[in-house]
Amino acid sequence: MNKHATAATSAAQVEIPLPAGVNAPGFGSDVVAETLRDLDIPYVALNPGASYRGLHDSLVNYLGNERPQMLLCLHEESAVAIAQGYAKVAGRAMGAIVHSNVGLMHATMAIFNAWCDRMPVVVLGATGPVDAAKRRPWIDWIHTARDQGALVRGYVKWDDQPASPAAAREALIRAANIANALPQGPVYVNLDAEMQEAKLAEPLPPIDVARFRPRVSAAPDPDMVKEAAERLRQAKSPVILAGRASRKLEPWHARVALAEALNARVLTDMKIGASFPGDHPLHVGAPGMLLPDADGLAAIGEADVILSLDWVDLGGAMKAAKSGAFVISASLDQTIHNGWSMDHQALPPVDMLIAADPDQVAIALSKLIGAPAKPVALPAAPRAMAKPASSDTLQVEHLAYAVREAIGTRDVSLTHLPLSWNGAWWPFRHPLDFLGSDGGGGIGGGPGISVGAALALKGSGRLPVAICGDGDYLMGVTALWTAAHYRIPLLMVIANNRSFFNDELHQERVAQMRGRPAQNRWIGQRIDDPRVDLVAMARAQGFDSEEPVSTVEALAKALRRGAEVVAKGGRYFIDSVVTPGYADSGPDQRAGDGKKG
Ligand SMILES: Cc1ncc(C[n+]2csc(CCOP(=O)(O)OP(=O)(O)O)c2C)c(N)n1
Ligand SMILES: [Mg+2]
């Protein structure tokens, strides 16, 4: 973990139990709770349910609601999204606990988002009693499924349903190890209600959890690295695709040094967290959400050697750029492709696959290739954004400009950005400047991810800023209550176009293709009449706010107020009413070409 992440993590402990005087595990669920503590899981985001009332009791009355601390959520989707956001900053898993069947059903989209985003989350659920003879009438039967894990098996790295406390202990250790190992991802452990609630017949033999948590090396093969370095050295126009990476600074610096030593052009991607300075002279084009922009594609097309550091859709980018380059790919992603989800993307042409941590590959290559002859000295402040032409109405571009102005020289983490964002507006300079997208395209993830990220950023000195679409906000809005309840600072700004606008563009496109009236694109898309009072929804959950803003000046003032509140540890919500429209950041970036959907 980097400096910022280690400094972080403390939600206000607002739910302090009376001492229960329990100092030894007496029930199955006490063993489960104790194992979570041994695994150093700091939080469990949850929505309660009788299927895990045993575990709930153990967390409160055996562990005193500390390490892990419960984070009550109003919806399971936000519980998992909060854990995803936390992992985006901290680089490791916290827990989420969901009720049997229905709670897991609510959680599924967020689990899919975390899976596609390769973020670790230890999801715990419950079932049963598995022994039908022990079930209470009706309710225990609807709490039970033959194979509950099947609901999520296609998009978790591993799942289990342990039959005893000893097996649960082992399952949890394995689950945390698997979730946190590269490529990271969610895991699911389903706890039998009877196993949780049963008295321990005798104490379990103690277990030294550390013995089951080995240090892991995902270092690259030195011969492969040597050969790759030689290829890159000899390349005339090398390109580095700076894909999925950790939030650590060492590999960030290695990528920069490598690019400079090779004079390689570098592309980044808005789907994932910042991986290279966006205003470095070697950075090409603006990072895109779907594909690289025209400049990026041209660079790939001209490249003779490509180094892909876990680029999310290498096959798609190569195809779009019609590239015939020699490809060196550093990735472990192939180890979790399972055929249920197609999030592995198109099969890329790859000449050398270095099956290792892409961060380690960048570091190893940079060591071999050596320091750049002339290191680039970037100016202290990132490249300013051109001031957008003034206008009576507010566009997302004005919003971006105003946010940058309002935060000034403060360190900011953009925990989420809306679909309408143009990657050129804000060049990132640090791995925590931008945390990437939802991963799986699941709208409604933005608020929860932002709350979880803000939790992990607490104490880091960084101002967490979430910019979400109104549709995204409305689907995930109840995550705000969790931020307010646990005093997690967060500035949330809505790019409110009062529409599921991305899909208006899809309807326009279809109408055009079919020669039908594009003017009808808004039907079944606009969120108006009545207008939803987004401010009331935020205030109702404990955020400070003000009336919606719809001019550049009003927005600038609101942002300054908001930034002050959040810098002091508060929460502030701004409804900025923007004119529908998407920034054109290159070919295929427009929603009409299937930006998302
Ligand atoms: C759970 C879910 N439902 C539906 C969609 C399809 N979809 C993609 S973008 C979008 C609109 C999102 O609206 P908003 O967040 O307001 O952003 P805007 O498109 O207005 O910029 C929808 C509905 C989705 N991606 N996820
Ligand atoms: Mg919208």
Residue 359 CA: distances (Å) to CA of 251, 255, 376, 400: 5, 8, 21, 30
Centre of ligand 1 to C-alpha 499, Å, is 9
Helices (H), 444-529: 445-457, 470-476, 479-485, 501-514
The separation between the first and the last C-alpha atoms of the chain, rounded to the nearest angstrom, is: 34
Nearest CA to ligand 1 atom 3: 443
CA distance linking residue 328 with residue 312, whole number of Å: 14
Q: Say if residue 308 is exposed, middle or buried (CB neighbours under 10 Å; 0-12, 13-18, 19+).
A: buried
Consecutive 10-residue averages of pLDDT for the chain (597 residues): 45 90 94 98 98 98 97 98 98 98 98 98 97 95 96 98 98 98 98 97 93 94 98 98 98 98 98 98 95 97 98 97 98 97 96 98 98 95 93 92 92 95 96 98 98 97 97 98 98 97 96 97 96 98 98 94 96 96 48 44
Containing 266, the helix (H) or strand (E) segment is: strand 265-267
If DSSP codes are grouped into helix, strand and coil, which group holds residue 550? coil
Centre of ligand 1 to C-alpha 472, Å, is 6
Pocket-forming residues, ligand 1, beta carbon under 6 Å? 109, 418-420, 441-444, 469-472, 497, 499-503, 596-597
pLDDT at 521: 97
CB count within 10 Å of CB 586 equals: 21
CA distance linking residue 333 with residue 336, whole number of Å: 6
Shortest-distance atom of ligand 1 to CA 443: 26
Shortest-distance atom of ligand 1 to CA 470: 16
Closest CA to 148 of 158, 137, 159, 138: 159
Residue type present at position 469: G
**Nearest bound ligand to the CA of residue 597:** 1
CA distance linking residue 301 with residue 4, whole number of Å: 37
Residue 338 CA: distances (Å) to CA of 155, 341, 404: 9, 7, 41
Nearest CA to ligand 1 atom 6: 597
